[in-house]
Amino acid sequence: MPRWLPRAMVLALALVACFQLAIWGFHQLVGLLLNVLIAFFLALAVEPAVDWMAARGMRRGLATGLVFLAILVGAVGFFALLGSMVAGQIATMVEEFPQYLDSVISWTNSTFHTHLSRVQVQNNLLNSDWLQKYVQDSANNVLAVSAQVLGGLFNLLTVALFSFYFAADGPRLRRALCSVLPPRRQAEVLRAWEIAVAKTGGYLYSRGLMALISGVAHYVLLEILGVPYAPALGIWVGLISQFVPTIGTYLAGALPILIAFTVDPWYALWVFGFVVVYQQFENYLLQPRITARTVDIHPAVAFGSVIAGTALMGAVGALIAIPATATLQAFLGAYVKRYEVTAEPRGRFRVRRRRGEPEEAEACEPGPVAGDGREAARGGERESAREPGVGVTRGAADGAPDGGPAEGRSGGTGGVRTDGA
């Protein structure tokens, strides 16, 4: 056995063990990394307001605390108002449930010629196996639901804490990150940071605009139908459908449908149909256009980025996909070299096929054919021979004295001429 083989085997096993350990650690920290990512984009969203207050003499920590306090007060007040409204409507539904049941039974009997009664329906419903099984499963899952609620609160506090530090210590964080990079890389990092702030702000602006349009549209419908609490329900639909990814649309539409059902079951059907139609209008017409204007990305790219983000990271990916894609596109745009496109490139050429020869493109307009530069060089020589001083090349025009030798006049650089300079 060669002397180096045992050490090579030990090194290979150590590398495999380190790789497996890194994969295990990454899977264990996926939740924390997602929370940090959400906190980073939230800090980018509130950083303009923090910078505005800090520029007027307020400490960044105090400014960040005031911004987060305003967000917290607004969220708590909104959900408290909706909670009281929902509780009142649920109590009304429970009180009037026998009347709803009688109307449904009478409609069923008159339409399908049945002989149902409310007592029979109630007994069948209360003694059904699926209801008893559902109640038993719900009682057994109380501990699991409580654990999920506590876990959600812990994740919310984690995101709030990280976002507070990212926003309050934004300049210090940027200096610490740039201190380990060369000056050229520092400029790139700072530019990417500014682009991320601008694109995240544009994304939130687009979401706020779509929430306003959605809220107004649903408010008009609910007001026409006479559904109570129409302004609050319009605000609920606008905010939840835009700022809660994936399931926000269903949560936003369920509450107006439920409250419309307390007024008239047919109203609930009308609201359901309007929610479905408006959602299609928003997904395919409104959202791509507004996102393309505010975040400056193509509607197809925005739609594809949301799908890709959902597939990769679920609801979190759907929420941050558009600002992340816009930031990456704007940052990489500075490193992509672009050229001017000639006017109507397809209309200037036609394909000519000769008998026994392959296809070739021929210019429809007369002019010099782009070749290897030899004809242009010969033409430059003949022109310069007829008119002395005219055949000055680019190099001579850039810095050679008048009357000096024109470089490249007979060389292989192409004989570029100016307009008599």
Identify which of 7-21, 238-252, 288-302, 331-345 has the greatest average pLDDT: 7-21
CA distances from 135 to 32, 122, 126, 141, 293 (A): 35, 16, 11, 10, 50
pLDDT of residue 409: 41
pLDDT of 351-404, one tens digit each? 555 555 554 444 444 444 444 444 444 444 444 444 444 444 444 434 444 444
Going by C-alpha positions, the residue among 278, 274, 310, 304 that lies closest to residue 291 is: 304
pLDDT above 90: residue 246: no
pLDDT of residue 247: 66
* φ/ψ of residue 418, rounded to 5: -105, -175
Going by C-alpha positions, the residue among 85, 98, 373 that lies closest to residue 222 is: 85
Q: If DSSP codes are grouped into helix, strand and coil, which group holds residue 154?
A: helix
pLDDT of residue 344: 59
* φ/ψ of residue 351, rounded to 5: -95, 130
- The model's confidence at residue 345, banded by pLDDT at 50, 70 and 90, is low
DSSP class of 181: S
Q: Are 257 and 271 in contact (CB under 8 A)?
A: yes
Query: Comparing 135-144, 207-216, 274-283, 386-395, which segment has the lowest mean pLDDT?
Result: 386-395
pLDDT above 90: residue 20: yes
Tell me what percent of the residues of the chain surpass a pLDDT of 70. 78
Q: If DSSP codes are grouped into helix, strand and coil, which group holds residue 363?
A: strand
Report how far residue 260's alpha carbon sits from residue 270's, in angstroms, rounded to the nearest whole number: 9
pLDDT of residue 302: 73
- The model's confidence at residue 229, banded by pLDDT at 50, 70 and 90, is confident
Q: pTM here? A: 0.61
Query: Comparing 38-52, 97-111, 127-141, which segment has the lowest mean pLDDT?
Result: 127-141
Residues 309-346 as b or e (16 or more Cβ within 10 Å = b): bbeebeebbbbbbbbbbbbbbbbeeeeeeeeeeeeeee
pLDDT above 60: residue 350: no
How confident is the prediction for the chain on average, in pLDDT? 76
- The model's confidence at residue 13, banded by pLDDT at 50, 70 and 90, is very high
- The model's confidence at residue 162, banded by pLDDT at 50, 70 and 90, is very high
pLDDT of residue 245: 60
CA distances from 257 to 44, 83, 127, 275, 326 (A): 36, 16, 28, 9, 36
